[in-house]
Amino acid sequence: MKETNPAADPIGQNLIKLTSNVCFSVFVFSVLIFTVIAITYQPPDPWLESAPALTKLFTQTENATFKIDDTVAKTGEDLQTETARAVSPTADIKPITDEMIKKEEEEVSNMTLKSSGCEDLEVVNCSDPRVLITVEKFNLRLFKSIVFLDYQTPVHGSKQDECDVSWRFRNKKEKSWRKYRDFRRFKFAIGDNCSYKIVHAGGWHSGINARRMRIRVNSTRSGGKNPRVAPLVRDDEINDTIPSLGSETNFRKGKYLYYSRGGDYCKGMNQYMWSFLCGLGEAMYLNRTFVMDLSICLAGNYNPDGKDQEGKDFRFYFDFEHLKEEASIVEEGEFLRDWKKWDRSRKKKVPVKKVVTHKMTPMQLRKDKSTIIWRQFDGQEPENYWYRVCEGQAAKYIQRPWYALWKSKRLMNIVTDISGRMDWDFDAVHVIRGEKAQNKELWPHLDADTSPDALVAKLQGMIQPWRNLYIATNERFYNYFDKLRSHFKVHLIDDYKELWGNTSDWYNETTLLNNGRPVEFDGYMRVAVDTEVLYRGKTRVETFYNLTSDCKDGINTC
């Protein structure tokens, strides 16, 4: 048998083998690179900048615990888009415009052509359509930052020439479709061409006869012990009721995602929101109802004594009604009662899938058919943080539903009240002091740059004299800003304590929500209100970038 001589093999055959090996290596390397990119890439978050950007903004890399800032993170109503507003429940309510008022005037003038002289105007008739038209024109001319939605028929004030008028509106700087109400007293006189004219307009909520009747609940509860405390009332524009699952059959037909309490509990509110929306986003991805614990632990950083406060209600801080409209949720207590009731009355228990690590991804749970997927967070921090579920590859699939989380309308009512008392015509400055002003290593100039004399010198060049100036600040000494009072009409949040005092609507409504127990207006609520009023200022001056050259996050971080 003749042996084959390797040396006799053609050179081209060796080149083909070499080329094929090189191509295969390049292919394997390309696949490896593509796989790494696919795993690590995180697409932009549609509501904020991006998942990594927000994490970098809010977290400390050394312990993955969110920072507690001097302001409040934006929520869904701040991030709402024009498209989202177009499909809102009030999309069919058209704002009142000059064109609409002109049309109303034409209709009214056609009805009153047969009238002779000004006899019918000798006494102000508040139900006369011309009275309302006069108020509408006056308001549009005076309040440029307000969108007027509708008016109620005017009613008589305290004198014959006065009318009280109520209307609903929203502020142009608030992107949500939520409505607020004002009612004011107007004094009328007869103008040219037998028309009404306004000679005096009252301030915010001055038209008390036009105020809607409030529904009183258990009014005898507070009357005996403390007659100064207003009876409990319910605002029928806020629906904080807890949704019920209904029958046991409905419970068994549902699909639920249940998060046990983890390391996020008693952390800052920014971390709470970031984690809560991770869980809610996973529930939406899995097409399941999210089991929600309404009890919040407020971190000690927001409290004067520095201690964490448990038992706070989600509804004190966020809009539960809007959340129910945007997401499928069930309250934890209601859910656990129905679960136990089912298991007691049936031989076959409810199918439960227990997940003990955040490393099991939502994608792996997508096809699970268990009635309950129960994520348990029993590990050590930071492994037991809820938001870890949405990290890594899961970030490509889970989008946090920021649009579902709005600030509490009760808090926003206070914001609206403060802004309305300044007739929506004010400027605002944010003065950050506190611990940052004391830390000269990270903020060497902040204390001096926010001193009373420095504030007077800098704000005089930014704000017109004697303008309403709202100061949002963490400076606890009320009289710290007294030097500014010689140049501006200064307003601080403590000037409005009656808005959450024991005769206020907020006090009544939160007490009712809290089973008759008074609710403290805590540090986070103060910061939330302060920040939202700040956002509504016509001119807004910030501590960093305006008042001081120091960097917001410390030296060399600008």
pLDDT tens-digit readout, 216-260:
555 444 444 444 455 555 566 788 888 887 766 778 889 999 999
pLDDT band at residue 80 under the 50/70/90 scheme = low
Is the model more confident about 19 or about 428?
A: 428
pLDDT of residue 402: 94
- Tokens 């005089």 correspond to 460
276: exposed, middle or buried (Cβ count in 10 Å: 0-12, 13-18, 19+): buried
pLDDT band at residue 511 under the 50/70/90 scheme = very high
pLDDT band at residue 208 under the 50/70/90 scheme = very high
Report d(CA 265, CA 311) in Å as an integer.
Answer: 11
Q: What is the mean pLDDT of the chain?
A: 84
Phi, psi values for residue 331, rounded to 5°: -70, 140
In three-state secondary structure terms, 53 is: helix
pLDDT band at residue 75 under the 50/70/90 scheme = confident
Q: Domain segments of the chain: what residues?
A: 51-73+243-404, 98-212, 409-541
Residue 129 scores a pLDDT above 80: yes
Report d(CA 512, CA 238) in Å as an integer.
Answer: 12
Q: How many CB atoms are closer than 10 A to CB 331?
A: 18
Report d(CA 532, CA 523) in Å as an integer.
Answer: 14
Least confident span in 51-60, 103-112, 472-481: 51-60
Top-confidence range, 16-20, 170-174, 522-526: 522-526
β-strand 256-259 against 289-292: which pairing, if any?
parallel
Top-confidence range, 90-104, 114-128, 344-358: 344-358
Element housing 183 (H / E): strand 180-190
Listed in order, strand segments (DSSP E) in 314-431 are 329-331, 352-355, 372-375, 427-431
**In the Cβ-directed half-sphere of 200, how many Cα atoms lie within 13 Å?**
9
Least confident span in 49-63, 126-140, 250-264: 49-63
Both tokens assigned to 493: 């949040």
Residue 201 scores a pLDDT above 70: yes
Cβ-contact 266, 308 below 8 angstroms: yes
Report d(CA 339, CA 371) in Å as an integer.
Answer: 10
**CA angle at 37 for the pair 36 and 43, rounded to the nearest 5°:** 140
Nearest residue to 314 via CA among 300, 301, 335, 329? 329
Report d(CA 144, CA 171) in Å as an integer.
Answer: 10
- Tokens 């083998």 correspond to 17
